[in-house]
Amino acid sequence: MREYDIKRGHFKNIDGKLEEIMKECFGSVKKNGEFLESSYGALVYIRIKPKGKTALIVDSETDKTADLETASKTIRAYNDFLFKVTGMTGKQRGKREQEKLKKEAKKAAEAEGK
């Protein structure tokens, strides 16, 4: 399971529209408890739920035996979906994740120093 931050102020663009965006990117969508669930191409499943207004919880599994064309089509659809729901490109998501990790490492180092 991964957690993806949502760009500040972007939640209003996806509030109540997550199912619609999933249908647009992956085709069919069904509700499974708190999660919206779909499958597409090499994605055996993808499950998504909002974590407040600041993040999304995403659980997915890929078919590692999928052919190259299916895999690249799936990656494009997945990245397109993440851009639409987070408001950030892959590069921006990566940079934000690195900043988070640096902050956590700094906190851990400070805790050890005390």
Q: Are 31 and 102 in contact (CB under 8 A)?
A: no
Query: Residue ranges of the domains in the chain?
Result: 2-87
How do the pLDDT tens digits run along the chain, 114 residues long?
A: 999 999 999 999 998 899 999 999 999 999 999 999 999 999 999 999 999 999 999 999 999 999 999 999 999 999 999 999 999 999 999 999 999 899 999 988 888 875
CB 74 within 8 Å of CB 41: yes
Does 3.20.20.70 match the CATH number of domain 2-87?
no
- Report pTM: 0.85
Bridge partners, residue 62, by sequence: 43
Positive/negative CA dihedral, 31, 13, 11, 84 = positive
Instruction: In whole angstroms, give the CA distance from residue 86 to residue 69.
Output: 26
